[in-house]
Structure 1
Amino acid sequence: MKKDQLLTRRRALIAGAAALGAAGTAGALALGGGEEPVRRTPAPAPAAGPKPHSAPASSAYRLQPLTGYGGPPRAAPAKLPVRHEPFLRMPGRGRTIVLTFDDGPDPRYTPHILDTLAEYEVRATFFVCGEMADWNRDLLSRMADEGHVVGNHTWSHPLLTRLRRSKIRSEMERTSDVIEKAYGERPQWFRAPYGAWNRAAFQLGAELGMEPLAWTVDTLDWTTPGTRSIVHRVEDGAAPGVVVLSHDAGGNRSQTVRALRTWLPHLLDSGYHITVPRRRHA
């Protein structure tokens, strides 16, 4: 290759590098780095019609507030197997008894029951009706503070076997909502009014994260048989793992209140331990 041809090629390379440097300088000035504004050729007018939607930068998208955001979503209840019958007994070590009260809370009787349980440092399970709990949320708060378990006993204590599936769900969900607001967490146990269970009750209870619990010993206190009769029923039926059914609402429960003050210390002195139901499925 001749000398003049080499010089011509070198000059072309130098000119190209200079052009690239000038373009970089112009870009820097366009970002505000220079003292004089950079004049750019105006872009052609867009064509008629709707403008295409361009995706925002990822960081900008993450920083945009979410419309109607009300905090983290509530965790879905744990999936439980659908049972075909309720629990009648609770397994445990030693001479343990599960004490349950239905239909409350009632400000005339529930506080006295809570006082007796507190005196003997005993925890019980209260299956509450939503319409009662809604008017007595302070009592559910006290139950939470004193370590008692609160279960779902429907909203209005209906006979579930005569209700449509949608109505049963409403009875359960409304009650669970009230319990969560007053007690601090959603119930893990459910009891059908009158002990009338059906397939829909078992299925919906499991969907809502609740286990079905019935009873072993019925005090029949709802018939107001007399304080002594209630005491005898509990003491005669006492055995490891039994679930005792009493009521703290739904009528005059003064006999229940008096009976508890008698049979509770007797069973404790006999070596029984009053406990609350334990979930088999976490």
Structure 2
Amino acid sequence: MENPVPIQPHVPQPRRRLLAWTAAGAASLAAAALAGCSETAHAHGAGTPSPSAEPSDSFSPAAPVNPSAAAGLPTPSATATVAARSKPVYTVRDLLPNAPGDAIALTIDDGPNPLYTPQVLALLRKYDIRATFSVVGSEAHAHKDLIRAIAADGHTVANHTMTHPQPFSKRSDAQIQQQIADAQSVIVDAGAPAPTLFRSPGGDWSPAVFQAAAKYGMTPIDWDVDPRDWSRPGVPHITEKLMAARPGDILLCHDGGGDRSQTLDALKSVLPALKAKGFAFVTL
């Protein structure tokens, strides 16, 4: 890598909080279920989310806890195989301490989507890049062929809950566990290995979420570079944010939850440019 840049100490970046839903707001957004994803709900290590004027990344504020898609599927094992963490993984080195010094990780959330996921997969194949897909269980059940394609191309499949409800940490312990368990079941049923990574909707974490993830043998993962592509801020904005990546960063993008054409257009130039800078893409 030319002019290698040492991994900088991670400095938490302030992140806007989740929107406080009113009954009227919930009803209108439920009607536009896939309008946008995934504004973060936290600052690194922050506590309870507070209201914000920012739009949410929720698929539906009133998403069902136990949708029919998971009915009849085997319940995943709830034997804890990892210790519950007090914070999620924010950088590559947090999870992969022996990763190359020039490693970065691309994570792609909220799919699979029949329009955008195949295009993202083709782009990753073109540049020989492996990524980590945080998939929503209801979408995985609807598009099993895409889950199989993601896994067949060597990408990691992570659990992103069954229906992407928000604010996730405000659900009951039972609802949190059901969301995670149902997604785990349909992802395996769709043909992918049982996920060992979990990403909370909007990056909304709590002790109950950490415990539930650990209960099903998963490590919680977050991100370090957020171009807010879910909000469709324009291709130049997304490109600029992603190109500012440093060694060790986890990049957040989306292939589901709405119109992801800007994300796709940005990745077309960003992926070869980051490789040209000497970065090595790794899966988490």
One fold, TM greater than 0.5?
yes
Deviation digits for residues 94-149 of structure 1 (CA, Å, limit 9, x no counterpart): 21110001111111101100000001111000101111111011001001110000
RMSD: 1.5
Which residue does 2:82 correspond to in 1?
Answer: 80
Q: Could you tell me whether the CA contact under 8 Å between 1:106 and 1:248 is conserved in 2?
A: yes
1:232 aligned onto 2:240: yes
Is 1:127 aligned with 2:149?
Answer: no
- Classify 1:173/1:126 alpha carbon distance in 2 versus 1 (closer, same or farther; 3 Å): same
State the shift of 1:75 in Å. 7.0
2:226 equivalent among 218, 222, 230: 218
Q: Look up the match of 2:70.
A: none
Q: Which amino acid aligns with 2:150?
A: M
Q: Is the 8 A contact 1:104 1:127 kept in 2?
A: yes
CA distance in 1, matches of 2:76, 2:194: 11
Matched residue, 1:99: 106
Aligned equivalent of 1:90, options 89, 92, 96: 92
* Aligned-residue offset at 1:76: 6.5
Give the number of the structure whose residues are more often helix, by fraction: 1
d(CA) in 1 for partners of 2:181, 2:141: 13
Amino acid at match of 2:108: F
Q: Given the alignment of the two structures, is residue 190 of structure 1 paired with residue 198 of structure 2, yes or no?
A: yes
Unaligned stretches of 5+ residues in structure 1 = 1-72, 278-282
State the 1:171 CA deviation: 0.4
Q: CA offsets per residue over residues 39-84 of structure 1, 9 Å max, x none? A: xxxxxxxxxxxxxxxxxxxxxxxxxxxxxxxxxx987755211101
Aligned partner of 1:207 among 202, 215, 234: 215
CA distance in 2, matches of 1:98, 1:183: 23
Partner residue in 2 for 1:168: 176
Q: Is the 8 A contact 1:143 1:183 kept in 2?
A: no
Q: Which deviations, in whole Å up to 9, do the C-alpha atoms of 1:10-60 show, x marking residues without a partner?
A: xxxxxxxxxxxxxxxxxxxxxxxxxxxxxxxxxxxxxxxxxxxxxxxxxxx
Distance in 2 between the 1:170 and 1:271 partners? Answer: 42
Return the letter of the residue paired with 1:171. Answer: Q
Tell me if the contact between 2:169 and 2:176 (Cα under 8 Å) persists in the aligned partners.
Answer: no
Instruction: Kindly provide the CA deviation profile for residues 128-185 of structure 1, in whole angstroms up to 9, marking residues without a partner as x.
Output: 1111111011001001110000001101111212211111111000100111122332
Q: Residue 14 of structure 2 corresponds to which residue in structure 1?
A: none
- Worse-superposed segment, 110-119 or 151-160: 151-160
Count of residue pairs brought into register by the alignment: 204
Aligned residue for 1:218, secondary structure, equals coil
> Could you list the runs of 4 or more consecutive aligned residues of structure 1 that deviate by over 6 angstroms after TM superposition?
73-76
Query: Which residues of 2 match residues 141-180 of structure 1 at below 5 A?
Result: 141-158=148-165, 159-180=167-188
- Cα distance between partner residues in 1 of 2:175 and 2:235: 37
Mapping for residues 222-261 of structure 1, pairs under 5 Å: 222-236=230-244, 238-261=245-268
User: Following the alignment from structure 2 to structure 1, what is the Cα–Cα distance between the partners of residues 169 and 150?
Assistant: 30
The separation in 2 between residues aligned to 1:162 and 1:75, in whole angstroms, is: 24
Counterpart-to-counterpart distance in 2, 1:179 and 1:77? 18
Give the TM-score of the pair, scaled to structure 1.
0.70
One-letter amino acid matched to 1:113: V
Tell whether the 8 Å contact from 1:217 to 1:234 is kept in structure 2 after alignment. yes
> What is the rounded CA distance, in whole Å, between the counterparts of 2:79 and 2:173 in structure 1?
19
Q: Percent identity?
A: 39
Once the two structures are superposed, what CA deviation does each residue of 1:245-280 show, in whole Å capped at 9, x if it has no partner?
A: 011111110000111110000010110011111xxx
Runs (5+) with no aligned partner, structure 2: 1-74, 94-98
Structure with higher Rg: it is 1
Structure 2 contact 77–216 (Cα < 8 Å) conserved: no
Cα distance 1:118–1:269, how it changes in 2: closer, same or farther (>3 A)? Answer: same
Aligned to 2:277: 270
